[in-house]
Amino acid sequence: MKPVFQCTQCGDCCKGYGGTFVSEDEIRVIAKYLQILPDKFIETYCEFSGDRPILGQKKNGYCIFWDELCKIHPAKPSMCKAWPYIESVLIDVINWHIMAGSCPGMRTDVPDDRIRAETSEKIRQRDRSKACLLYTADAADDQ
- C-beta of residue 56 within 8 angstroms of C-beta of residue 46: yes
> What's the CA gap between 123 and 117, in Å, rounded?
10
> Which DSSP string corresponds to 66-128?
BSSSBTTGGG--HHHHHTT--HHHHH-THHHHHHHTT-TTB--SS-HHHHHHHHHHHHHHHHH
Please give the DSSP secondary-structure letter assigned to residue 15: B
Phi/psi for 96 (5° steps) reads -60, -50
Phi/psi for 3 (5° steps) reads -65, 165
pLDDT tens for the 143 residues of the chain, in order: 899 999 999 999 999 877 899 999 999 999 999 999 999 999 999 999 999 999 999 999 999 999 999 999 999 999 999 999 999 999 999 999 999 999 999 999 999 999 999 999 999 998 888 666 555 544 555 55
Is the entire prediction scored with pTM above 0.75? yes
